[in-house]
Each structure stands twice: as C-alpha cells, then as structure tokens.
Amino acid sequence: MSRVIVRIPTPLRPYTGGADEVEVVAITVGEALAALGRRHEGLLARICAPDGSLRPFVNVYLGADNVRGLDGLATPLPGDGAVLAIVPAVAGGAGGARERRLAELKASVPEIGPREAFARQTDGAALIDVREADEIAQGSPHGAFRLGRGFLELRIEETIPDPDRLVLVMCAGGTRSLFAAEGLQRLGYRNVASVAGGFSRWKAEGLPFETPHGLDPHAHERYARHLTMPEIGEAGQQRLLESRVLMIGAGGLGCPAALYLAAAGVGTLGIVDHDVVDRSNLQRQVLHNDERIGQAKVDSARRTLQTLNPTVNIATYRERLTSANVERILSGYDVVVDGSDNFPTRYLVNDACVHLRIPCVHGSVYRFEGQVTVFWPHCPAHRGPCYRCLYPEPPPAEFAPSCADAGVLGVLPGVVGLLEAVETIKLLLGLGDPLIGRLLHYDALRARFDEYRLAANPDCALCADGRPFPGYVDYEAFCATAA
C-alpha cells in the first residue's frame, strides 16, 4: 500500500470542502480514486462513468504520464509520495460549481434574518463576525466575537468552548458565513446558523452596531502575534496601547522588563532613575551600552526603547524618589514595576502604591536567586498583602547586602525582569491568575521555581482595613548602599 497525493482541480474542490490535495492509501490508480470517492461523496461520479471507467472528458496523470497510456486504472502506484493529478476538460467559463456548492450549503446550514439573530444574541447566543479587519473597522454588531475567517477554526474552541451553544455566523453579505458555519459543524458545533444578508442587511435594518477603535496597518503588522490570540486580540492590544506603566529603576530588573513592555505595545512607559550608566552596569542592564557610559540612565533607556518601538511614549524622571515627589510621579499610572535595588525605595514605592491604590509588581535578585510577586491590597478580586505585611521594617545593612556588595549573576535579572513584565501584562489585560498573595522564588543553580503563599496582615499599619494612611518614612540610615 502506498500513500499517494491526489491533486483536485478547481471545479471539483467543492466536493472536497475546498481542499486542493487529498492523501489516500492505495495500490493502484483505481483504488486511489475509489478511496477518494469514499471520503468525499459525489466526487467519484464526476471522474468515473457508471461502468467504472474514466469519463472521456477527464484525464488522470501519474507524475507526468497520462494513465490512459499506461495500464489505465490498474496502473500500480510506485510508492509513498506518488502524485496523481485529476485534469478535466475546461472551457474557460465559470460553470455552475459555485451555485451548486452554495445550494448544498443552504441545504445543510440554517439561515436566520438579522432581527432574529439579534434577538437570539440577546438571549445568549454567540455572534461571530468572520469578516476581515478592514471590514470590521467600518462597523460590527455590539458584543460580536470578531475572529476573522482565516483564523476561525484555530480560535473558535477557545472563544466558544461549549459545542452546544447557539453560534450565529455573520459576514458581509451572507455567503462567507455559510462556508464558515459548515466549518464549525465539522468541528463538532451542533447548533450553528448563518445570518442571511450579513452585516449589510443588519445595518440596513437599523440594528445596533459599533465602529471599533481600530489599529493602523503598521500596528496590525507589529502586533500580529497578539492579534491572533483570542485572549488579547485587537481590543486587548488597544488596551495595552492606552496603558501607563511606571518602571522604578532602569537597572538590572527594569531593563528587560521595559524592553518587553515596550515591544508588547504598552502605550506609555515611565522610567524613574537618578543614576548614570557605569561600565559595571553593562553585565546585566541591557538597555545601555559602552558608548553611553556617563549618560543618564533614563536618557539611555529612552533611546533604546524608542528605537525598538517608536510608537511608545517614554516619560523620564531623572530624580531620586523621595516622600516629596513620589505621589507626583506615581499618580496616573496603571501599574508600577518595582526594579529598585535598595530598601528605602522599596518601602517608599510600596507605601505610595497602597495609598494611591496602584498594583505594584515586585522583583528582587541576590546572587543566584530571584523573587517575583504582586502587591495589591486593593485588588477587587483578591485581597493580597503589601510589602509591609511581610516585612514591617527593613533589616539593618549587614543582614541584607545590596547587589553591589554581594554580586548577582548577570542573566538572573533578565529572568526576574521578564517575569515582572509577564505579570504586568496580565494585570493590564485582566488575564490569568496574577501573583497576588503568592511569591515565586527562582533558584538558578538548581533550575527550580518554588511558590510560597503570602497572607495579608490584618493588623498591617499601612493596608489594614480602616487604617488611616500613616505617611511616609525615610529609612536611609537602616539600609544598604544602593548599587
């Protein structure tokens, strides 16, 4: 038995669901055609006469040879990978294949009008708009899932996991939706209908629709891999573009986090850092380079990030965070990413985030170990701790040396900073299960991640319910020297 590829000509593709090639297993040409006919009803009758011979207006080629000049249908197949090509006579006209195929679809796919579709959607049916992005940009029904015909089969199971839910498929005029609905039936969706007349009729009948705030062609190209994900899509990417994230530090943690947040399309990235680029930074701070030694880190970071993604707005703050400026700088941001390297800044950022009700993505590194968590006591879905719940006051310097004193594996901040970026994206898009109330610990030497539960302190002086904000505390005298 050989595995053979049978090439299907355009006039016969309606019988194969549009497929231009079909693989079958057979010994002879006749057996291959018979296997093709068993798989696709109605196709064999277009190739062979009732007596089993090839129809006079159809030729079949094995490689470059017409099988009529070989042993006909008894011609043996040479082995796996052989190619049979069905070549019918073609006059040049369109013929009736399209009309016949549409008639078959209308017989197997129910059609309903737009008003009935709107009523069914209101009652819980899923309305799928399978038009292309440029069409959807002109308008789409409220609440429709905009999947696009090209990705429908790839994305439908994540979007509509229940195969028994009523699914209504819409295109521009009602033809593409028939093909799409048939595809969903093949995937096992048992209650599918096409919206007759498509969006054109929907709009003509005065049913509600919206004009989505779309992305320009450059954004579509740049964020294409996000747009194909049902969890993000165009709406999620637009949300990222409208988001504001503040990076505390343009150092080992802030550099990789900022790189990937800029690449992901976070619309505004703020960067706070008072320091300048030093050669010792370049082992891990990947936004900077040797030519920028002595430049302000915020300026170096901005140059790199705008080269990567010119559409991102980079706001820089070349100043040390203090109790006098922390609220001015943090206000208006959606998420704060803490990449600081000293306790005074960590406590100050934590206290300000709690006071301003901003989620804080926390990362820290030490030699070969790293930690990531999210501090957000005011999260509406899950009450988590703040930094002070875990450590009410900082340790003295001798118990917590900085990276400058203890050292750090150069690639380790990359791992932790990227995890901070992942948590930030999840928070901005409302995806998954953020690290609220959980600490992720990474041991690079053992290549191991461990997770620890973090509980909110009901008596926390900062975030406990009903506690007035106590103000900011300076801890410079207690803490290690900053790197």
Pairing of strands 145-146, 140-141: unpaired
Share of the chain above pLDDT 70, in %: 94
pLDDT of the residue at 212: 73
The CATH 3.40.250.10 domain(s) of the chain lie at 98-210
Average pLDDT (316-345) is 93
Placement of tokens 């959980």 in the chain: 438
Q: Show the tokens assigned to 365.
A: 């590194």
Whether the CB-CB separation of 282 and 313 falls below 8 Å is answered with no
Question: 379 or 18: whose pLDDT is higher?
Answer: 379
- In 3D, which of 385, 371, 378 has the Cα closest to residue 420? 371
Mean pLDDT of 122-133: 92
pLDDT of residue 12: 85
Query: The tokens 């959807």 sit on which residue?
Result: 136
DSSP 301-321: HHHHHHHH-TTSEEEEE-S--
Give start-end residues of each CATH 3.10.20.30 domain in the chain. Answer: 2-93
Residue type, 386: C
Region of 82 on the Ramachandran plot (φ > 0 left; ψ -120 to 50 alpha; else beta):
beta
What architecture is domain 243-478? 3-Layer(aba) Sandwich (3.40)
pLDDT at 137 over 90: no
Indicate the helix (H) or strand (E) that contains 31: helix 29-39
Q: Concatenate the DSSP letters of all residues of 70-122 into one string.
A: TTGGGPBP-STTEEEEEEE---SS-TTHHHHHHHHHHHHS-EE-HHHHHHHHH
User: How far is the CA of 444 from the CAs of 370, 379, 405, 418, in angstroms?
Assistant: 8, 31, 19, 15
Cα→Cα distances 104→44, 47, 80, 184, 198, Å: 17, 20, 34, 16, 19
Fold held by 98-210: Oxidized Rhodanese; domain 1 (3.40.250)
What b/e readout covers 1-15, taking b as 16+ CB neighbours within 10 angstroms? ebebebebeebbbbb
Q: Is the pLDDT of residue 215 over 90?
A: no
Q: How confident is the model at residue 297 (pLDDT cuts 50, 70, 90)?
A: very high
Q: Please give the structure tokens belonging to residue 282.
A: 């370049």
Answer whether residue 171 shows pLDDT above 60: yes
Provide φ and ψ at 292, rounded to 5°: -105, 10
Contact 127, 143 (CB under 8 A): yes
- Is residue 265 within 8 A of residue 311, CB to CB? The reply is yes
Residue 385: pLDDT band (50, 70, 90) is very high
Residue whose structure tokens are 């290690």: 480
Backbone angles phi, psi at 437, to 5 degrees: 80, 15
pLDDT at residue 340 greater than cutoff 50: yes
Rounded to an integer, the average pLDDT of 132-136 is 81
In which residue are the tokens 């790189």 written? 259
Q: Are 69 and 77 in contact (CB under 8 A)?
A: no
Residues 296 and 243: their CA atoms lie apart, in Å, by: 25
CA atoms of 317 and 118, how far apart (whole Å): 51
What is the pLDDT averaged over residues 220-229? 90
Instruction: Give the range among 25-39, 74-88, 213-227 with minimum mean pLDDT.
Output: 213-227
Question: For 187-291, where are the alpha helices, taking DSSP H only?
Answer: 198-204, 217-222, 224-227, 233-241, 254-264
Mean of the per-residue pLDDT values of the chain: 89
Is 90 exceeded by the pLDDT of residue 250? yes
* Predicted local distance difference test score (pLDDT) of residue 172: 92
- Say what the pLDDT of residue 397 is: 55
Are 340 and 362 in contact, with CB atoms under 8 Å apart?
no
User: Which runs of consecutive H residues, i.e. helices, occur in 318-411?
Assistant: 326-330, 343-356, 387-390, 403-406
Beta bridge partners of 48: 54
Other CB atoms within 10 Å distance of the CB of residue 360: 25
pLDDT of residue 43: 87
**3-class secondary-structure state, position 415:** helix
pLDDT at 97: 63
Overall average pLDDT of the 89-97 stretch = 59
Span 305-323, average pLDDT = 95
- State residue 319's pLDDT score: 94
pLDDT of residue 478: 43
Query: Where exactly does CATH 3.40.50.720 map onto the chain?
Result: 243-478
Q: Are 301 and 330 in contact (CB under 8 A)?
A: no
Please check the confidence at residue 93 and state whether its pLDDT lies above 60. Answer: no
Q: Looking at 217-231, 272-286, 335-349, 414-428, which range is the least confident one?
A: 217-231
CATH architecture of 2-93: Roll (3.10)
CB-based contact 177:143 (threshold 8 Å): no
Query: How large is the C-alpha radius of gyration of the chain?
Result: 31
